[in-house]
Amino acid sequence: MMSSDRKMRLGAFLMAGGHHIAAWRHPQAHAQAGVDIDHFIELARIAERGKFDMLFVEDAAAIRERNPEMASQAARSTAFEPLSLLAALAVNTTHIGLVATASTTYNEPYGLARTFASLDQLSGGRAGWNLVTSASELEAENFASSGLRPHSERYERAEEFADAALALWDGVEDGAYFPEGGARFSDRARLHPVHHRGKHFAVEGLIESPRSAQGRPIMVQAGASDVGKELAARTADVVFAASQTLAEAQSYYADVKSRLAKYGRKPDEIKIMPGISPIVGATEDEAKAKYQALQELIPDAVGVALLASYLSIQDLSAYPLDGPLPEMPQTNLIQSRQQLIIDLGRREKLSIRELARHFAGARGHWQLAGTPSQIADAMEERFSEGAADGFNVMAPLFPTGLEEFVTYVVPELRRRGLFREDYEGRTLRQNLGLSVPIKQ
Percent of the chain with pLDDT over 70: 90
pLDDT beyond 70 at 417: yes
pLDDT band at 319 (very low <50, low <70, confident <90, very high): confident
Q: How far is CA 115 from CA 44, 204, 345, 430, 439, in A?
A: 21, 17, 41, 21, 20
pLDDT band at 1 (very low <50, low <70, confident <90, very high): very low
Distance CA 255, CA 384 (A): 17
pLDDT beyond 90 at 237: yes
Give the side-chain half-sphere CA count within 13 A for 364. Answer: 25
Q: If you average pLDDT over residues 322-334, what whole number do you get?
A: 72
The pLDDT assigned to 152 comes to 75
pLDDT beyond 50 at 240: yes
Q: How far is CA 208 from CA 8, 111, 116, 172, in A?
A: 36, 11, 12, 9
The pLDDT assigned to 179 comes to 67
Which is higher by pLDDT, 346 or 252?
252
Q: If you average pLDDT over residues 209-217, what whole number do you get?
A: 94
Q: Per this entry, what is the length of the chain?
A: 440
- Cα Rg of the chain (Å, integer): 22
The pLDDT assigned to 381 comes to 98
Q: If you average pLDDT over residues 24-32, what whole number do you get?
A: 88
pLDDT beyond 90 at 356: no
Q: Among 49-63, 68-82, 275-289, which stretch is predicted with the lowest mean pLDDT?
A: 68-82
Q: If you average pLDDT over residues 173-185, what whole number do you get?
A: 79
The pLDDT assigned to 374 comes to 98
Q: How far is CA 175 from CA 87, 127, 169, in A?
A: 25, 20, 14
The pLDDT assigned to 386 comes to 97
Distance CA 8, CA 2 (A): 12
pLDDT band at 294 (very low <50, low <70, confident <90, very high): very high
Query: What DSSP string runs through 219-266?
Result: EEE---SHHHHHHHHHH-SEEEE--SSHHHHHHHHHHHHHTSGGGT--
Q: If you average pLDDT over residues 9-28, what whole number do you get?
A: 93
E-only strand ranges, 351-409 = 366-370, 390-393
Q: Among 170-179, 311-320, 431-440, which stretch is predicted with the lowest mean pLDDT?
A: 311-320
- CB neighbour burial string for 268-280, b if at least 16 within 10 angstroms, e if fewer: ebbbbbbbbbbbb
Other Cβ atoms within 10 Å of 6 Cβ, number: 15
Q: If you average pLDDT over residues 250-254, what whole number do you get?
A: 96
CATH number corresponding to 9-279+367-431: 3.20.20.30
The pLDDT assigned to 69 comes to 60
Q: Among 4-8, 198-202, 380-384, which stretch is predicted with the lowest mean pLDDT?
A: 4-8
Q: Among 142-146, 283-287, 330-334, 394-398, which stretch is predicted with the lowest mean pLDDT?
A: 330-334
Percent of the chain with pLDDT over 90: 62
* Nearest alpha carbon to residue 7 among 428, 407, 385, 383: 383
Q: Are strands 127-132 and 97-103 parallel, antiparallel or unpaired?
A: parallel
The pLDDT assigned to 147 comes to 63
* Nearest alpha carbon to residue 333 among 54, 2, 60: 60
pLDDT beyond 90 at 115: yes
Q: If you average pLDDT over residues 367-379, what whole number do you get?
A: 97
Q: How far is CA 352 from CA 60, 247, 332, in A?
A: 26, 24, 22
Over residues 126-146, the pLDDT tens digits come to: 999 999 987 677 777 777 655
Could you give the maximum distance between any two Cα atoms of the chain, in Å? Answer: 77
Q: What is the mean pLDDT of the chain?
A: 89
Which of 70-74, 125-129, 184-188, 291-295 shows the highest mean pLDDT? 125-129
- The H or E element that residue 41 is part of is helix 37-49
* Nearest alpha carbon to residue 394 among 104, 47, 1: 47
Helix, strand or coil for residue 89? Answer: helix
Q: Among 131-135, 309-313, 408-412, 416-420, which stretch is predicted with the lowest mean pLDDT?
A: 309-313
Q: If you average pLDDT over residues 290-296, what whole number do you get?
A: 93
* DSSP alpha helix (H) spans, 236-351: 246-258, 284-295, 300-311, 335-348
Cα dihedral 230/235/239/242 (nearest 10)? -30
Distance CA 325, CA 141 (A): 29
Domain layout of the chain by residue ranges: 9-279+367-431
Q: If you average pLDDT over residues 95-119, what whole number do you get?
A: 95
Nearest-5° angle of CA 197, CA 134, CA 195?
Answer: 15
Answer whether 23's CB lies under 8 Å from 29's CB: yes
Over residues 33-67, the pLDDT tens digits come to: 999 999 999 999 999 999 999 999 998 877 766 66
pLDDT band at 74 (very low <50, low <70, confident <90, very high): low
The pLDDT assigned to 404 comes to 98
